[in-house]
Structure 1
Amino acid sequence: MRVGWIGTGLMGEPMARRLLAAGHRLAVYNRTPSRTRKLVAAGAGAAGSVAEAVAGNEVVVTMVALPADVEQVFLGPGGVLAHAAPGSVVVDCSTSSPELARRLAEQGAERDVAVLDAPVSGGPAGAEAGTLSIMAGGDAEAYARVRPLLAAVAATVVHHGPPGSGQLAKLVNQTLVAGATLAVCEAYALAHRVGLDPELVRESTRVGVAGSPLFDFLWTRLAAGDLEPGFKLDHFIKDLALVREAAGESPLPGVGLVTELAERARAGRGGGRGTQALVTAIMERAR
């Protein structure tokens, strides 16, 4: 397929590389041009603008950080919807607002452009390995057209229903991630406090019901004192805000606590640190 790809960060770059390896033709754009160099060296075309990345392509994929970034990329005279070809499909893989996903799908339909919301889970390691999970929402026929493309970057691709339902499924996923991240960081803080060897704890724990890929990733980083991100605190806090917005009046006390700790960790360590930095807020609170 001819694909316009917008956003080549921690997730977007390895996902786009997998499409290239699968034989698709890509035009790639990032607002920081240097971040497209590896893809261009691998055979992608370099686009100088969103409009240039979109023009003439049958599929467009966007992978940006914030709902405000999604709006900026999609709307306005230089945006995706202004330049997407009639009959094309636009797939937004960003984690964003379900309401915004519905609005973009409505505006796309007015231009005969199908807009799917298809956020992903699995982190940079999953993007590299092609083992991501994609949670899609939007028109079923458009989804069927692009599913082979999505399967090139993900091991699991599920269509959850109408526009916005992919984003809602991702927010359920992030609620689980929030609880698991808190549990791993609290467990590590306890192991540290009582003087256990973290590697021995990992060895005995990871094979039981508490083990998971997220446990392995976070615990290994914590044991090494490594706060570099697999998932940035800034993006984590953004996702938790979207979870609370989706929940409306329904209380989610665990999400509230994780948000408080994440904001403390960000204040002390910076929003570019990984979610494992939650442990610093937990330890400081204990002191």
Structure 2
Amino acid sequence: MGQAANDVVIVDNDPAAESARPAPPQAEDHPELEALENRIELLTSQLQGMSQQNEVSRGRTSRFQYLGLALCVALIGWLLLNNNRLTQEMAVLQADKRQLEETVSLQSQLNETMRSELSAQIDSQLEISDSHNRRFFESIEWALNEDGQFGWDEKPFNDQLATTLSQLSQNLHSVGFVGEISIRSHLGRFCLVTASNGESALPDSDATLSSCEIIQFTPSLAESMGTDQSPGFERFLAAFQSEYGEDIELSLSTAGDRRPLARYPAEDPDTNAERWNKAAARNQRIEISINPY
């Protein structure tokens, strides 16, 4: 056993044996394959470059998209905030508008109430003023009509009446009167006799109706005699129209003998003619009325 451990193994390296072993295969030259490999390597390199560029481009696009999204979110947020602010302002404006409308409505009601009260006061004052004016005009009319008789042989629209109307118009115009002065004549049915010269005259004071003739007015005669004018009155009318124009107008008319103021005595032959003619004289008159517009 101990001898075996100390044995030395001798390996014989025979050169002939080495040469007899087969040589490893050597690579053959294939230029087509080398060109193809180079081409593949070039394409691979280009694809890698394009891939890197796409990744860079995608990265940039993603950043732009994120940036755009962020801007959209910011814009939407700003719009929401602005809309909220506008909504609040609109609510305030609507509240102010309602308050203003209520104020205007209340003011309109107050104005209408004041207008109604003022109108009522004005109407009341106008009624009082009209009443005072009416009484004033009636007093003037009474004074004029109380002394409005004209003679049996006078024209109803004569010079004396022209003087009265001229003074009356001046006084009315001085206080701002605008309206119409109505003048109506009334005729008396006198009992007359025919004098020796052929003209009509009043009978003696002790005469009776049997000795005189009572005037009988036909409609045409009453109209003719009731509107008869003196030359002086005609001139007055022309001047009056020129002076007052449409501010004061005169209206002339006649009632004939249809509206006697005084009752006539009994139409009896024995009735005293003077008594009859006194009633006729009262009925022979001018009636003036003042009518403001």
Structure 2-normalised TM-score?
A: 0.17
* Structure of greater Rg: 2
More helix, by proportion: 2
Report which structure shows greater RCO (CA 8 Å, sep ≥6). Answer: 2
Structure 1-normalised TM-score?
A: 0.17
